[in-house]
Amino acid sequence: MPRISPWLFRKANRHSPNVAALLPACRDIPSAVNELRWLKEHVNGTAHIAKESLLARLCTKRGQGYPLQYILGSQPFGPLDIKCRSGVLIPRPETEAYTYHLAYLIKSESLKIGGPKRDLGIVDFCTGTGCIPLLLYALLCPKFDHLEVLGADISTQAIKLARNNIDHNIRLGHLPDRQLHHNLGIVQEDIFQNEIIEKLQERKWDVMVSNPPYISRRAWNYGGGQVGHSVHKYEPSLALVPGDDVLVPVDWSHEDVFYARLLEIASHLKPRAILLEIGDREQARRVISRFFQHNLSKNSEVQVWRDWPDLASAADKDCILEVPVQDGSSRAIPIQGDGNIRSIFIRLDA
């Protein structure tokens, strides 16, 4: 990242020393002024007596790269207010965008999910703050007579925070209160243990979603585009990098191991649609290529979504991803939306 020029610091300091303190993290003055406004609102809402000194300390901390969401304690996610705590991955706008797009596809009935009984089951693995299942529940509650949305994570800290987020958003009125035939839950499970399959097979799951750890150990340790300084220093590696203790199947890369397991789980749960966040184009190509070798791929339809899947693609963006298949040929997978490649959408029994 390029250094900030001294004249920009001087210009920021003319606004206030706090704007100058925020500049290394914000990179420009308008962003620093905006964050200062949020930090002032946060400090004014505290019982702290020495508010000016607290504000200065928080601006310095933020300027050193500490995530704003951890300082403020929350992140907007659609209509929701998602509490954020150190040790749990911060929700991203791109995740919000594909969650909205998935909800739109379900509500528009283009996926033909739910059917005449108007019942729907969604399971989200590696749920973190619970942002994905909470938003899907909020958006889909009015559409379905019977709705079950479940988030699962291995982290005790994440589970506690996700459950807290349910209660918090119900209190705020952003989530409908618990009602008959509608259920939103969070469970602590290790997806690499077969007990989770046995438990979930008792219920019907139409949609499976996951934003799993997908960053390689090399990228985490040495950089490479996917990992910024703030992310590496302050956000949990457990949510970003597959653990060293995870058994990697033959011919799979370590950073792709969660996808191998998620496809195996899907073969048991038999969802009608799968949405998986991925890191970049090459990971999308690898995962889709392995999907086509899986028994799930029969009568399937695969798409790659960019950051903003509901937007028209920019003129300079590729609209096709060529994916190698077993016979040595390739398959053309459509890419939709604008921004960077972000997720894989699979419709089964298409």
Q: Which two tokens stand for residue 225?
A: 């585009």
Q: Which two tokens stand for residue 162?
A: 């996700």
**What pLDDT was estimated at residue 115?**
66
Residue 64 Cα distances to 57, 58, 85, angstroms? 11, 10, 18
| Per-residue three-class SS string for 284-334 | HHHHHHHHCCCHHHCCCEEEEEEEECCCCCCCCCCCEEEEECCCCCEEEEE
Tell me the β-bridge partners of 76.
81
**What pLDDT was estimated at residue 349?**
82
**What pLDDT was estimated at residue 117?**
66
In contact, 344 and 304? CB cutoff 8 Å: yes
Q: Which two tokens stand for residue 241?
A: 């990098």
Domains of the chain in sequence order: 6-66 (no CATH), 93-347 (3.40.50.150)
Residue 311 Cα distances to 9, 280, 338, angstroms? 36, 19, 6
Tell me the pTM. Answer: 0.94
Give Cβ neighbours of residue 346 (< 8 Å, ≥ 6 apart).
Answer: 273, 274, 275, 276, 291, 296, 300, 301, 302, 303
322/329 Cα distance (integer angstroms): 10
pLDDT along the chain (350 residues), means of 10: 87 95 94 97 93 96 96 97 97 98 93 79 98 97 94 98 98 90 96 95 95 94 75 92 93 96 96 97 96 92 97 88 90 96 91
Q: Which two tokens stand for residue 273?
A: 């649609």
> 28: which DSSP letter?
S
